[in-house]
Structure formats: C-alpha cells, structure tokens
Amino acid sequence: MVARVRTVAFQGIEALPVDVQVMVGPGKVGMQIVGLPDKAVAESRERVQAALHASGLSMPSKKVTVNLAPADLPKEGSHYDLPIALGLMAALGAIPGDMLTGYVVLGELSLDGTIAGARFTVT
C-alpha cells in the first residue's frame, strides 16, 4: 500500500504542491527518501524515526521508501518531517490513510515527537 500526504515546496513566495508517497514493503531494512531532497530533508529520516520511537511506535523491519513528487522540484527545509511521519503511520495502518485526504501538512518534528512550527524565508 502507498500512503499519500500533501505538502508544499516553497520557491520564493510560491507554494508548489508536493505529494509525499510512503510505501512499506519487502527489501533491505531501512528508509530511503527520494525525489531531489536537500540535506535538511534527508535528515528527516533521523528525526522521523526518533519521533516515532519516542511516541511508542517502532520502525518496521522492512524497506520504507518515501518519494517526494514531483522529483524535478527541489525540496528544501525540515517541514517535510510531519508529512513523512504521517505517511509512514498511514502505510503501517497506525492511522487511517483517508483521514489525511483534503489536508496540506507541514511541520518539523523534534526527537521527542513534539511538532515544531515550520519557518519560511522569502528572499
């Protein structure tokens, strides 16, 4: 099953739609984030895993693939943490996937699972 969560990528003052797709399946155990992420997004893997653990949920002993689509759109910032975590929870069946429909989700996760506000800069 592929869980989907909507979020955005910021380019200047524009918020462009991004589809966070999370799939849990067979393969090498671990989480891969694909779709042209920058370093902060790549670090989401560690924050999401720690936050889920602190919340009493464990990572599956399976391959987790996170795709940030469209792949040709640069993704910057830590606001992808929350949509990735919610997508993973939906893919694992911890929350109903349909409850995410109709929402655009942004938020940084702390290691203890606290949701921090996302900060944005207009240049």
Residues 6+ apart with CB under 8 A from 103: 5, 6
Confidence tier at 41 by pLDDT (50, 70, 90): confident
pLDDT digit string, tens, across residues 30-40: 999 998 778 87
Q: Cα(77)–Cα(41) distance, rounded to whole angstroms?
A: 6
What CATH number did the domain enclosing 24 receive? 3.30.230.10
Q: Is the pLDDT of residue 117 over 80?
A: no
Domain region containing 103: 2-116
Number of domains in the chain: 1
Q: Is 69 domain-assigned?
A: yes
The mean pLDDT value for 59-68 works out to 95
Q: Cα(113)–Cα(27) distance, rounded to whole angstroms?
A: 27
Q: Is 121 domain-assigned?
A: no
Instruction: Quote the Cα angle for 26-28-32, to 5°.
Output: 95
pLDDT, residue 24, reads 97
pLDDT digit string, tens, across residues 8-38: 999 888 999 999 999 999 999 999 999 877 8
pTM of the model: 0.92
Q: Which of 9, 14, 8, 7 is nearest to 122 (CA)?
A: 14
Q: Is 122 domain-assigned?
A: no
